[in-house]
Structure 1
């Protein structure tokens, strides 16, 4: 299973839930504000905003928070954010992509570089590791929506490219530009998804032992704690035994 989904599972098990939840709401609200400011404030006329709102709802962001984030984009004093991608290597040579939204490029670059250095990694040039990932749309459903055959059939009908089904659930991948259409088509058949967003899918992964996993988790946690960082993806995986020990 790809690093991003493993990390989601680990994050879910680790506790710190209130702090993680508050940080997640903040990051989802920022994405909504940026999407609304860049296009139409009506989600029906703005695919990026529609996906941002859908993701926020899937993560239980309150309706008033979503509406406030959209309204904020229309104010003359709305913050202006730049979207930046950082690439680097973590412990054990793991490739990492960090996506950020910031109103101060120098601050964010300095913080991200410092976090990498303290955790035994190093920041690289843009393009240094992204060639090891594919940019994809991802729609996730719980195992309870049906068996692999049912989900595969729905995914094919929706225009998706690939489905990865495990006992934990179903990950449905599509081309980035098709995400909104595929997500809507799947929703009509399978109901509301757990998540629907753009991701970096590793082409290959490196399996980490406990020591390597602990070092990498320290780096990923520090990056995700930064207010400017929207997402972190790494090309790793680990055994269930190592996950349990974490």
Structure 2
């Protein structure tokens, strides 16, 4: 019974844990998920706030008012951070490496920056601290451009590798074609030789056949002459 009470108490403690963005990034970094603030914001948009996470409830976000004129900062509960850890951050860099090259050739990456800008700007405008937005917007631009630059470098390396494979395949098939061509020439030469040999053999057979016919006719004529001679002898004996 005490065990279940202890476990229930631990779950409640987890439910009541809240993190600033910086604290959440540090928490995620404990598992090797080193991400930037712009990456965190982008991945945070993927979290389903209506999906229960394990036993610690649904992911939540709230604003915490700070002393002075600073704008409120966002806080994320433990369920939100664990959701990021489990299905959002885990494959962030895999997705970046596998981004189609069209993503960078088109203006999609600019649209992504615009979405982040609008979110940040609206937050500042709502709290009337527009001049404080410059540093954060500059940081977002820098981080996003660096990330896209690194992704394009990865894409370029991938394309170079693919091009090398295509070149190797091209050389392989050229070699195969040459081999087939050489074999075809050999077969053509062999076919020509066989055709010539058949023609010569046919001519020789024709000559032999003609010779045998003449020889047979000659023998038949001689046999007829012998037969005629025998008949003459027989008639003389009578």
Q: Could you say which TM-score interval applies, normalised by the shorter chain? A: under 0.3
Greater RCO between the two (CA within 8 Å, min separation 6)?
A: 1
Query: Taking structure 2 as the reference length, what is the TM-score of the superposition?
Result: 0.20
Greater radius of gyration (CA): 2
User: Whose strand proportion is higher, 1 or 2?
Assistant: 1
TM-score (norm 1): 0.19
